[in-house]
Homo-oligomer: A and B are copies of this chain.
């Protein structure tokens, strides 16, 4: 069964773009569109999409309120992927706190958009996507720092994963972490992979950055 997606954005152009990108995938199906947050709830009830790709900034009812409303009133609510133009959008931060499962920049490459939808659909959280930081760096921006602080709260790292991340953030290699925790390196690799997936990090360096940015580990 394909992943079903509902698009919510007040700009028809954006909806068309997302539709084009997503429908090009055989395993993704766009089942509906809405131009405003107010229209979302009945549509979700009727269409039961797996994922709602929702703009944060919309007239009448914005993405934050729409997210809250969805999670409050719909049982088995869809996964919510927040879409935004700006990498340091505090609306995004609030949306994540409201229960959104991930966020995505509109200027992300098609492959990244597709990837994000798939991840979200699979139940993964995409709270610290590498693309955000990369794009932020490319544009000389500071990046989604506020949003980063919401990462760890929602990343739901297990105790062991958190322990591994702390050691990663001290510069230990997988082998060193394994020695310290008295487990095999394969085990450490598993935990590291889990951490990377949950944080949306591509490699350990990005995970450590996320740890610092979120305050999970503190410098000094």
Contact = CB atoms under 8 A, between A and B. Distances in A.
A137 B215 CA distance: 18
Copies of this chain in the oligomer: 2
Q: Is the interface of A mostly helix, strand, loop or mixed?
A: helix
A170 interface: yes
Interface residues of A, number: 31
24 contacts: A130-B171, A133-B170, A133-B171, A134-B170, A136-B170, A137-B167, A137-B170, A137-B171, A137-B172, A145-B219, A149-B220, A168-B205, A169-B209, A171-B201, A171-B202, A171-B203, A171-B205, A171-B206, A173-B202, A205-B205, A205-B208, A208-B208, A213-B220, A215-B220
Interface of A: 130, 133-134, 136-138, 143, 145, 149, 167-173, 176, 180, 201-206, 208-209, 212-213, 215, 219-220
Q: Which 9 A-B pairs have the closest CB atoms?
A: A171-B206, A137-B170, A212-B219, A133-B171, A212-B212, A205-B205, A213-B219, A145-B220, A171-B209
